[in-house]
Structure 1
Amino acid sequence: MPDFTNPLVFLLATLVMFLVVVGRYFVIAGLFQFWFYRFRGKQWNSRSLGKKKEGNTQFYRELKWSTITSLIFAFAGTFTAILWQKGYTKLYLNLEDYPLWYMPLSLLVSMLIHETYYYWLHRWMHRPKVFKLLHKVHHDSSTTSAWTAFSFHPLEGILQAIILPLTIIFLPMHVYVLLFQLTIMTFSSVINHLEIETYPANFHRHFVGRWLIGATHHSLHHKQFKYNFGLYFTFWDKWKKTESPKFSSLFEEKTNGFAKENKS
């Protein structure tokens, strides 16, 4: 087992993690952007980035910040490996250490912790002075795209990166569950920033769908600022009454409009 505290090993491990994080992000964001631009082009164009030049400017800006964020996440990953190697975490490798049913349970608990942390962090970042320092970079994309998903100021990137290392200090998680959650995070962030709704009509009324955040839900946050602060789930927004009153009507407009276009 390599010693991650060795400076050379630390840098090499961080480089490998960076390539994994940025590669996974670019592949997922690129595929979603191409697929939904290609097959839901009319809906995209009706809420597009505007002129081509402005869209290109936003794309390159988001690409820059997303690359920096991926590097921050990579450093967080190497730091987590050091914590694990030194015995400071509850991360485990042996499947027999805990029953198999605990694996999905630990994923759910970790996601609920992450959701709670992010909701309140997000609301704090919308305080005027904090917003200008930390969160404005992300909101420079008022009309979002898949590339907005990781477009954060470095300080916000650090705040987002610390929650999982902190969680596994006290919550036992199998390494595969941790990696699965990281993948869910990337998919969720890309989907939520697509602007084009990926869920089917009436999904926002489904007993599962009503608790999941999607593109319409989060796009309203980028336009209205004072609503829809959640990450994966809507329960904090519903409980604290910060869900946009325009969400249902806009979701229906987007999904029903696409359904009609698809039939014609």
Structure 2
Amino acid sequence: MIYITGPTSFWLTALFFFLAVFGRYVLFSLGFWWLFSVSMKDQFAHRAVQTRPRKPGQDWREIGWSIVTSLIFTAIALGVILAYQEGHTLIYTNIKAYPLIWYPISISLVLFAHETYYYWLHRWMHKPSVYRWVHKTHHDSITTSPWTAFSFHPTESTLQAIVIPALLFVLPLHISAVGIILTIMTISSAINHLNTEIYPRDFDRHWLGRWLIGATHHGLHHSQFRFNYGLYFTFWDKWMKTESPDFHRLFKQKTTKIDAGR
């Protein structure tokens, strides 16, 4: 665990975390973009969720907002480190401090709590009185790409960023579990905004796949606005009847064309 011991240490830690947060975003966004839009473009050409072209300069606009988001994430991470040093969080570094079974349970609990928080936050952000001030920046990207993953208004970035740090004050988490959760968050966001369905045919009805959000599921949210509010999982959309009625039809359409030729 990093310790902040003075002004120089503070700014070096801030730089380290910014490079880690923004670098993680660039790494996964660039990786998914290159893999499915360049390297295997022909194999996945028919899997594009939205076919309308992206707006001129959209990539750079999204990257610009993502830099702001990364700065906000960095500031909150620094706050968590300072709180940890004062003994206010429940982060632990000794894997033997809790039974080993707690490790996967703690990750699952955080993902469930994060999903629940985000689903209801997301619905709130779509209220007309809130939308234009908080969430419109993200929805300016109707045709998404992995670069859209961190493209948020600063208010939305802050609202999204506070939940996991808040959980660190009430839920014991090993430091490596925090890293796993943040990596899952980044990968999931890149996949969901890819605008190319990478999951196999019928995965939307698979015992596992039916609960996971992918590019088709989230792409419909960007085009229809009033459906598919989930972050990682579909269960709140299913429970609250907010899953798009077009989802399964579109998923089948996007995956059958490519798979039929195999």
Q: TM-score range by the shorter chain?
A: over 0.9
TM-score (norm 2): 0.94
Over 3 Å counting, the alpha-carbon distance change for 1:7 and 1:216 in structure 2 is same
How far residue 60 of structure 1 moved from its aligned partner, in angstroms, is 0.8
Q: Does structure 1 retain, via aligned residues, the 8 Å contact 2:217–2:247? A: yes
Partner of 2:173: 173
Find the counterpart in structure 2 of residue 70 from structure 1: 70
Task: Say if 2:26 is the partner of 1:26.
Answer: yes
Structure 1 runs of 4+ aligned residues shifted over 4 Å read none
Letter in 2 for 1:29: S
Confirm or deny: 8 A CA contact 1:17 1:74 kept in the other structure: yes
Given that residues 47 and 258 in structure 2 are in contact (C-alpha distance below 8 angstroms), is that contact kept between their aligned partners in structure 1? no
Q: Any stretches of 5+ residues in structure 1 without a counterpart? A: none
- Structure 2: distance between partners of 1:121 and 1:194: 22
Aligned to 2:240: 240
Q: How large is the Cα RMSD of the aligned pairs?
A: 1.6
Residues 94 and 119 (structure 1), Cα distance of their counterparts in 2 relative to 1, 3 Å cut: same
Any idea what the Cα deviations from partners look like across 1:145-199, whole Å, max 9, x if unmatched? 0100000001111111111110010000000000110000000000000010111
Matched, 1:249 2:249: yes
Distance 1:44 1:212, change over 3 A: closer
Corresponding position: 1:43 with 2:46 = yes
The TM-score, its normalising length taken from structure 1, stands at 0.94
Please list, as runs of the form range in 1=range in 2, the aligned pairs for 1:113-132 lying within 5 A after superposition: 113-132=113-132
Structure 2, unpaired ranges of 5+: none
TM superposition shift of 1:40: 3.6
Q: More deviation in 56-65 or 111-120?
A: 56-65
Question: Secondary structure of the residue that 1:228 maps to in structure 2?
Answer: coil
Q: Which one scores higher on RCO, CA 8 angstroms, separation ≥ 6?
A: 2
The one-character-per-residue Cα deviations of 1:52-101 (angstroms, maximum 9, x if unpaired) are xx3x4111110100111111111111111111111111100001101111
1:12 deviation in Å? 1.9
Partners of 1:150 and 1:117 in 2: CA distance: 18
Structure 1 distance, partners of 2:51, 2:220, is 14
Matches of 1:197 and 1:97, distance apart in 2: 41
Match of 2:111 in 1: 111
- Tell me how far apart the structure 1 counterparts of residues 69 and 104 of structure 2 sit (CA, whole Å): 28
CA contact (8 A) 1:125 1:131 kept: yes
Q: Which has the higher helix share?
A: 1
- Please give the alpha-carbon distance, in whole angstroms, between the structure 1 residues aligned to 2:122 and 2:248: 22
Give 1:19's aligned amino acid. Answer: L
- Report percent identity of matched pairs: 49
